[in-house]
Structure 1
C-alpha cells in the first residue's frame, strides 16, 4: 500500500519538474547588462591581409540615387564631389604599371585592351589631352615594384598585343613618381592647366590634396618609375606654365583623378577614377546620395547598405563597407537561413550571428569581419527578406555571453543529428560554452525526398536510380538479390543519389531494363550524403596537400582509425599509416572536400579472396591477378573494372579491381554550436529562440545592449 501511494506522487512531482523546465526554458529571460553592441560594423570585401587575402586592382561603385564622395583621414573629413544617379565612379592604386601603348585612335586602344584582358583583370585605358589632341594610354597592372611592371611589360611586348597600332611614345614602365603644381582655385582651373601641360607633351592629371584643413586642387605631373627624372620634369613643367612646381615628399597624401575609358568599353565615355598612392594613408568614402544602396561591381554587382571606404593596405587596394550593424545582420541572417523558416529560428540565428561577429573585435586589421564564410556570408541587400529582418529587429542588441564576455557563437548548417566536441574532434579548443554530443533534430533536408536504389547495371557498372523510376520485377538474380525494372525511357543512373544538372549520368536505361538491387539509401542532402567514388589518385593528391608528412603512393587503402565522442572521424590511416593533417576538421578538406567529418569510408577495392589452394589473399595489399569460375565451370581472368562478391553475410557487394573509395556521411559543416537545421527543427516543435540558443550553447546568458 505504501508503494502504491508513493509512485503516483513521485510521477506527479517529476512531471511538475519537467513542465517547469520546459516553461522556463521556452520563456527565457534576456538580461540587460554592461555589454556594448556597436552601432556599425566594418566589413572587408578586398584586402591584402594576413588571414584574408582578396585582391582587386580597381573598385567600381554606383548607386541608383547617386553618390557623395568624401576624403577621410585622421585629421579631416572633407566633401569631394557628387556622382550623379546611376553613373559609376572608380578607385585604384597609384602603383607601377606596364604602359603598353599610347594612341590617338580609341578603337585601337580598345582592341589592345581586349587582348590584355584575356589574361589580366588589371588592364585600363586612360584618356588624356596631349599635344593638342585626345590620346589613350593602355596600361596593365597595379604592381608594388618597378621590376614587377617591367616583367609584365616584357610579356605584353613579346606577345605582340599592340602590334600594328601606331604608338605616340615607346612602351615603358609607368610609376607613381611625379611632381606637383598648384594649388588651383577650382577643378576647372586645374583641368585647364593640365590641358596646357599636355600641350607640351607632359602627362598631367588633376588631383586632390588636403591642405590646411581644406581640400585643394593640384596637378600631378608625370608617371615616373623612380625619382631620377624629377628634377628635369620639374623644369619642363615650370617652363610649360605650371604653377608652383615642386617635388613632393613620398608620404604626402593625394588622389589623382584619371579619365577611365575601361568601364564603359566601346561607348567611349569617360568615368572618373580616383587613384590613391601606396604610402600616404588617404581614405576615400562613398555615401549614398539618395535612396538605395551602393553597388560594388567587382563583388558580383551586389548592392550594399552603408558607406564604402577605399584605401591602400599592404600595397593593395582595400575596400571596406562601414554599415549599420543591425542592417548588416539583415543580410547575414537572410543568407544563412531560408526565408521560409520559422521566426524563432531566424531570431536564434540573429543572436548567434551578432555574437559571432562581435567576438573577434577588429579581427581583420582595418575591418571587424570579411564578407565570406571566413566570417559570415554577407551578400548585401539581395539576401534580405522580411522574415530574417524581423528576426534581427525583434532581437536587436541581444548577444550571448559567458562570464560577462561575448562568446564565439559558432554555428554550422547541419550537425548530422549530433553536435561535435571541439576539444577532441574539431579545432582542439576547449570552448566550455559549446554543447557537445547533443542530439539535434537535423532531419529537415530529407523531408519530402525520395530514396534511391544502389544498383548494378547489365554491363557491370554501378550507380543510383531514384526509387520512383523503377519497380520490383518479381525476379531474383542468381545471387538472391532482387531485380528492379526500369519504368521509363532514358532513365538516368547517377554517380551519387542526387540530380545535378551539370553532371552527366553514368548511363541512361530504356523502359523494361533490369538492374540488380544492391541497397537503398536516402537522397543526397545536407543531412545524409554519399559522395561519388573517388579514385586512389584523387585522394592521394588531396591528402598530400594537407598531410604534414607526404604519403608515398600509390594509395591502396584508406580507413577510419579514430573517432571522437560524437562519432566524427579524428584520424584516418592511408596504407596502414596514420595521416597527420592537423586538427580534426582539416580532414574535410584533406579528403577532397567532404561535407563533414561524421562519415564512414567504403574501400571498394579491398577484400579477402580464397585462392584455389585454400589460402586467403588480402587485396590490394597482396598483388596478383583475379580469376573467377563461370557458371559453365570455365575459369577466366577478371579484366573489368567492376566485380561483385558475396560478403560474409551472404549479401551481394559491389567491388572494384583497383582501389576506389566511397564516403557516406551525415551533416554539413564542423558541427559545433548551433545547428541551423536543428534550430529550425526545434522551432517547428514550438520552442522559442531563447530555448534554442541555450540548447546549443551551455551556461550562457542572453544579454541586451545596455
Structure 2
C-alpha cells in the first residue's frame, strides 16, 4: 500500500538541518555578481486586458480614475505625448469604448433616468447616464453596454425593455446607438467646442465635444450623431451644415478621437467620460499630479503608483499600469508573503518575483505581466508594507540567472513538505535550475490552529468537529473507539475540518451527546487539507473537462497508481483505465480544484471483504446492496448511505454503501521552485535569502543589474 501524502512528506527539522548543512558545506560562499542581463527601470502591468478566452481575459466596460492630488491627461501614440488637460483632485475621469449601446431611456426627468439606471445596475455594471443639451432642454440618456455589434446592443435593449428599465417619461423611442458620427470643427478650445455642441443640440441634434490629435497637437472638434452605421451620415452632414456646423465632414473610420460626454450617475457626481473608438491605436495616459497614486474604481478601488494607460484592444477597453519595477515589487511582495515574515524571506521573495516578472518579457502583448496570479498578485499601494519594501530595497536589481539568462523563477505558496520534480510531475521539461523533491519546512500554516475530530454520529452521519468542542467521555464504543462528549449547545458537524460560513453544517449537536472518534486531523490549511466528500457525478464531470478521452460513467473507482519523486501523483486510473489529463499540474483542476497534486484519494465505497471461506471479494460501489450477517446468523442489507467497518489494523473506518471519494493532501500550488512557506521556515531557522534561493533554485546564479 502506498503511504499517504502526509506520511510521505512530513518533514523532520533535524533531517532538514542535516540536508541544508550538506548542501551549504559543498557550496562556496555566494557572491552577488554583476548581471549579464539588463534589469529595466519600469514594468507594464495589465489591469484589464482582452487577449481572448484561451489566453487572458479581464474585461471592463468602463475605467473610472481619480487621484487625491489630481491627474494630468495626455494623448499618446507611441511617438509623442500630447497634453490634454487636468482632472481636479478627487474628481473622476471615466473611460470607455465608443461602441454600440442600448439607449434604454431618453428623458428630461433626472429622477426617471436614475430609476432606470438602478434597474440596469441590478445585473450590469455597464449602465451610464449621459447629460446633453437637446432641443432647448437638458436631456438625460440612459445607456447600457459597450457592444462590438449592433446586434449585441439590440439584444440587450430587448432585455432591458422587458425588465422595465425603459419605463418613464421618454422624449424618444428606446433604440440602439453606435459610434458613427459627422464631425465639425476644429475649435480653438474645449469651451468653444462645447458651445458649438450646445448650439447644434438646440437644433435637435445629438452633439458632443471631442478631442482629436491633429498636426502634432490635440485639437477640439464636435461629433454629431450616434449612428449604427455609415448609411445615414450623408443626410446627417447636410442637416448639421444647415444647423450651422462649420466644415461638416464624414471622418474616416480609422481616425483617432475621444468623444467627451458628461455623465451623472448621481446628481452631485458629474464626470467626463472619454469614449475611444475601437479602431484607434492611440491611448490616453493618466499621471498623478502629486505624490498620491491613481485609484481605479473598477479594480476593487485599488490605488496605483506610476501612470495608467487606457486604450482599446480586441474590441475591449485595456488598462495598463506603467510603474517603476521596484515600486511594483513593493506591492507584489506585500501580497505574496505575510507582513510579519522574516526579512530574509521578504528578500528571497523580492528576488524571485523580480526575476519571474522580467522572464515574462512582453508576454501579454501590450504588457509584461498581469496583476493576477496568472503572473503574480499585484494590488497596488494599499498592499505595500514596511517589511516588503525593505526586502525589495535590500535586493534592488538582483535577479536569478542560469547560463547568463534569466530563469523562470516560479514559486508556490506551500510545497507540502517537499518540492515537486517538474520534469516528471508538473509541466515537464528538464530545467536544471529547479531543486527537485527537496525537503521544505512548510508546516507554518498549521501553527496555532486547533485539531479537529472526524466523528460518527448515532444516526450514521459522519463529519468533523473542532477539538475544543469535544471531550473524552472515558467510555468506549463496541468497536473499541473512544466515545467523545459534546461540550456546549449547537455544535456544528462539518463536511471537512474547516469553518465555511457559506456551507451549512451536516448536523448540530448539544451538550452531553456522544459521538464516536474515527480519527484526529489538523484543521484545513495550506499545508494539510482534507476536502469534503465528492460524489461520483461531481468528479466525473470535473475529470471529463480535462480528460483527453472522456470517461464513460458512472464513476465507480478512482485510484492513484503512480507517484513521482516527491510523492505527487503522476498516474490515476478511473474504472481501471488510465486517465490522460495532459501535464501533471492539470490534476489540480481535474480533481475539482484541489490545492496540490501531493494527495491521496480515499474510495469510501470500496472494500476488500474476507469471507468465511477465506476468500476475499472486492466491493467498489458497483450497484446492488451490501449485506452483513448479524449475531443471529441472519443477513440484512445496509440501506443507509454510510457504513462503518474495521480495517485490517482494527481501526474503525467510515465508508459508504455507494461509490464516494475523499481527497486529502499537502501543500498549495504546483510545488515547483521556491515554496513561500518553506522560505519563511528557512528564514526562521537563521538562513539568509541567498541560501534560501540557492536551496530552491539549485544551479541558479544570483546577479545584480550592471547599472546599479
Name the SS of the counterpart of 2:349 in structure 1: helix
Question: 1:24 deviation in Å?
Answer: 8.7
Match of 1:236 among 227, 234, 239: 239
* CA deviation string 1:286-318 (max 9, x = no partner): 111123111110011111111110000011100
Q: Which moved more, 1:483-492 or 1:17-26?
A: 17-26
Establish whether residue 624 from structure 1 lines up as the match of residue 624 from structure 2. Answer: yes
Structure 1: runs of 5+ lacking an equivalent: 1-16
Question: 1:73 deviation in Å?
Answer: 0.8
Question: 1:112 deviation in Å?
Answer: 1.5
Question: 1:161 deviation in Å?
Answer: 2.5
- Taking the aligned partners of 1:25 and 1:321, their CA distance within structure 2 comes to 41
* CA deviation string 1:502-544 (max 9, x = no partner): 3333222222222212112222211111111111121112112
Query: Residue 194 of structure 1 aligns with which residue?
Result: 197
Question: 1:268 deviation in Å?
Answer: 5.2
Count of paired positions = 687
Contact 1:411/1:675, CA 8 A, preserved across alignment: yes
Contact 1:250/1:280, CA 8 A, preserved across alignment: no
- Taking the aligned partners of 1:623 and 1:168, their CA distance within structure 2 comes to 67
Match of 1:204 among 204, 207, 212: 207
Name the SS of the counterpart of 1:543 in structure 2: helix
Contact 1:646/1:653, CA 8 A, preserved across alignment: yes
Question: 1:27 deviation in Å?
Answer: 5.4
Establish whether residue 33 from structure 1 lines up as the match of residue 40 from structure 2. Answer: no
Query: Residue 645 of structure 1 aligns with which residue?
Result: 645
Match of 1:119 among 120, 123, 127: 123
Name the SS of the counterpart of 1:546 in structure 2: coil
Q: Give TM-score, length-normalised by structure 2.
A: 0.94
Establish whether residue 226 from structure 1 lines up as the match of residue 229 from structure 2. Answer: yes
Contact 1:93/1:275, CA 8 A, preserved across alignment: yes
Match of 1:59 among 56, 63, 67: 63
In structure 2, relative to structure 1, the CA distance for the partners of 1:320 and 1:530 (3 Å cut) is same
Question: 1:471 deviation in Å?
Answer: 2.7
Query: Residue 69 of structure 1 aligns with which residue?
Result: 73
Query: Residue 5 of structure 1 aligns with which residue?
Result: none
Q: Which moved more, 1:69-78 or 1:331-340?
A: 69-78
- Taking the aligned partners of 1:398 and 1:317, their CA distance within structure 2 comes to 34
Contact 1:26/1:691, CA 8 A, preserved across alignment: no
Kindly report the root-mean-square deviation, in angstroms, between the aligned alpha carbons of the 2 structures: 2.0
Contact 2:605/2:621, CA 8 A, preserved across alignment: no
In structure 2, relative to structure 1, the CA distance for the partners of 1:171 and 1:490 (3 Å cut) is closer
* CA deviation string 1:75-126 (max 9, x = no partner): 4211112111111110000111122221111111111222222222222111
Question: 1:25 deviation in Å?
Answer: 5.8
User: After the TM superposition, which residues 250-329 of structure 1 pair with which residues of structure 2 at under 5 Å, given as runs?
Assistant: 250-262=253-265, 265=266, 267=267, 269-329=269-329
Establish whether residue 570 from structure 1 lines up as the match of residue 570 from structure 2. Answer: yes
Question: 1:634 deviation in Å?
Answer: 5.2
In structure 2, relative to structure 1, the CA distance for the partners of 1:595 and 1:274 (3 Å cut) is same
In structure 2, relative to structure 1, the CA distance for the partners of 1:170 and 1:74 (3 Å cut) is same
Question: 1:610 deviation in Å?
Answer: 5.3
Establish whether residue 352 from structure 1 lines up as the match of residue 356 from structure 2. Answer: no
- Taking the aligned partners of 2:665 and 2:614, their CA distance within structure 1 comes to 37
In structure 2, relative to structure 1, the CA distance for the partners of 1:18 and 1:415 (3 Å cut) is closer
- Taking the aligned partners of 1:31 and 1:192, their CA distance within structure 2 comes to 63
Structure 2: runs of 5+ lacking an equivalent: 1-18
Name the SS of the counterpart of 1:298 in structure 2: coil
- Taking the aligned partners of 2:223 and 2:92, their CA distance within structure 1 comes to 23
Question: 1:488 deviation in Å?
Answer: 2.9
* CA deviation string 1:156-176 (max 9, x = no partner): 33444313x232222222111
Contact 1:295/1:303, CA 8 A, preserved across alignment: yes
Name the SS of the counterpart of 1:587 in structure 2: helix
Q: Give TM-score, length-normalised by structure 1.
A: 0.94
Contact 1:25/1:691, CA 8 A, preserved across alignment: no
Question: 1:275 deviation in Å?
Answer: 0.6
